[in-house]
Structure 1
């Protein structure tokens, strides 16, 4: 992507001189989430440089209909006629329509900011209220763009993250919501939330949090204490375990994987979540074998080599497939 060309094209849109191909180019540019952040940065920069825009209506109209403008002369510009105003109203209506359509299509990007991580990537964030977040691989955190901490502190998480929430003088609650309708409410504490296709899990390090499943109305809110781990079923039921090792659940921050008699089939699921690889287990007896211990791996190949050494299995990489595929066999 040539950022300079896109920036010039976006500025042309702000100034009302973008052509139809340029507008199409901008819509393609905005279809990529990362580019939406650039768009708003350029908009803010342009607004600061142009605090007041005085429209030159006749040249704008001629540019709009594709006609050339006569060479500049020193003859005073005649006063606006009804036809001039008609042209101006038409241009204003077109611009208003474009703004409405853009606002509708990108309303979520306008109101929210998304932080994402790729497979195998970790990312540390500091939110507007001072709270800190560490995002695990293949995760997305959605945060309100305006007045975060003043009016609300609600975020949405898909994936896995550790939160260190700052307590505010106004006692504003911090709420994490997940795709499976789990709601985690806190004031100031440290905890981890896991939310993927296999289900959700909350691990509390410090303070206290309240969990509530909006999917199952029969499930009462649950308040947990440090060392507690809560797993959420697909039906929304909450299962509480006390006195768990928080460090074992937080190892991903250092690229550590901790297992305790974990079946190979579940390990394969975790590798898919973290690295985006597909694991084919050739033998049903192999899928039931278990693995225990803590292992450091920053790539799928690193971990698969460990599995090969410990379990005595062969790892056969696929060829030309997406996602990257590996077969485990004896």
Structure 2
């Protein structure tokens, strides 16, 4: 039976006051997955209650210039030196917490759960989350988002997205940027605004609802692309950015209501969207059918809610693979 520990025992670990027996009990306690998340929650609470201070780099730079002119001038004053020492102590405490988790024998570190919070949705699922900075994010189906657990840099707020999400970013008092990165090196930079980011195998897309957004490719030196409300930017798989102005941006967020909006959309594109949303596979062997277009708005939470409608509209038949129940073959009827 795993020990039940008090919050104070865990806090003693953060403060470097835990005895060898307490550390051993904490290691056993951390073998329970539910306790690992509680451990991080208490660590973040302790960090907020015990704010750490970092050196003022600008002040240090000015003092370094003074030192060149007057070697007797110390590089850092006592207050700055005190900040440096406190920062070092904090890093050691954080490192001790990391080592404690590693020594517990869990696989948490190898899934990078240790350093990042993960927000995920499964196929057909849409969820809303509030981030630690009070920004709000709505995740479309089959989407993952991760953000750092520990805010040590005190510079940008960073997030990594794979899938599709709508962000409502809260502007902070210190004007820290919120930066979203995608697997194809697209980087979206904002201070506080509302926008949608799509990033899947078929490419990436940014849709701006409010405010102003800067977009850049991390592997290019070109200046960031600035977009404004109503703009939609697409990044192709070949790495080419396309900007369109005055777009009906509300259509790009129809997925929040489990809706599909097709506007002269080819059946091959319709099949791709259904695959991304529901995780099923579509087979269209007839190239003529693949090029047929469809228009209209459809609400569906599962493939079975939309496929009968498509069959009636386009005179199709749907066949299930006997050995692959998640595979649908679309066939034109005579």
| Residue 134 of structure 2 corresponds to residue 130 of structure 1 | yes
CA distance in 2 between partners of 1:113 and 1:308 (Å) = 42
Deviation at 1:228, TM superposition (A): 0.4
Count of residue pairs brought into register by the alignment: 261
Q: How is 1:185-200 mapped onto 2 (pairs within 5 angstroms)?
A: 185-200=189-204
Alpha-carbon spacing, 1:194–1:107, altered in 2? closer, same or farther (3 Å): closer
Q: Give 2:180's aligned residue.
A: 176
Partner of 2:112: 108
Cα 1:108–1:272 change in 2 (3 A) is same
1:220-246 CA distances to partner (integer Å, 9 max, x unpaired)? 410001000000012322100011001
| 1:74 aligned partner | none
Residue equivalent to 1:226: 229
Q: TM-score, normalised by structure 1?
A: 0.71
**SS state at 1:271 partner:** helix
Residue in 2 aligned with 1:245? 248
Classify 1:260/1:17 alpha carbon distance in 2 versus 1 (closer, same or farther; 3 Å).
closer
Q: Is the Cα contact below 8 Å between 2:123 and 2:278 reproduced in 1?
A: yes
The unaligned stretches of length 5 or more in structure 2 are: 6-21, 44-98
Matched, 1:313 2:316: yes
Q: Deviations over 1:83-112 (max 9, x none)?
A: xxxxxxxxxxxx979529769943721110
**Aligned-pair CA distance for 1:218:** 5.8
* Rg comparison, structure with higher value: 1
SS at 1:163's partner residue? strand
Distance 2:244 2:311 in 1: 32
The reply on whether 1:142 has 2:146 as its aligned counterpart is yes
Of stretches 235-244 and 173-182 in structure 1, the one that deviates more from structure 2 is 235-244
Supply the distance in 2 between the matched residues of 1:15 and 1:306 (Cα, whole angstroms). Answer: 59
Q: What secondary structure does 1:15 align onto?
A: helix
Counterpart position of 1:161: 165
Taking a change above 3 Å as real, the CA distance of residues 319 and 104 of structure 1, as seen in their structure-2 partners, is closer
SS at match of 1:314: strand
Q: CA separation in 2, counterparts of 1:97 and 1:142?
A: 20
1:40 aligns with 2:36: yes
Following the alignment from structure 2 to structure 1, what is the Cα–Cα distance between the partners of residues 128 and 178?
18
**Unaligned 5+ residue runs, structure 1?**
30-34, 48-94
For residues 125-168 of structure 1, the C-alpha deviation after alignment (integer angstroms, 9 at most, x for no partner) is 11111110000000000011123895431000000000001011
Within 2, Cα distance between the matches of 1:286 and 1:10? 62
Aligned residue number for residue 265 of structure 1: 268
Contact 2:208–2:249 (CA under 8 A) maintained in structure 1: yes
Provide the rounded CA distance (Å) in 1 between the counterparts of 2:165 and 2:41: 32
SS at match of 2:112: helix
2:211 matched to 1:207? Answer: yes
Cα RMSD, aligned residues only: 3.0
Please, which of 293, 298, 312 is the counterpart of residue 296 of structure 2? 293
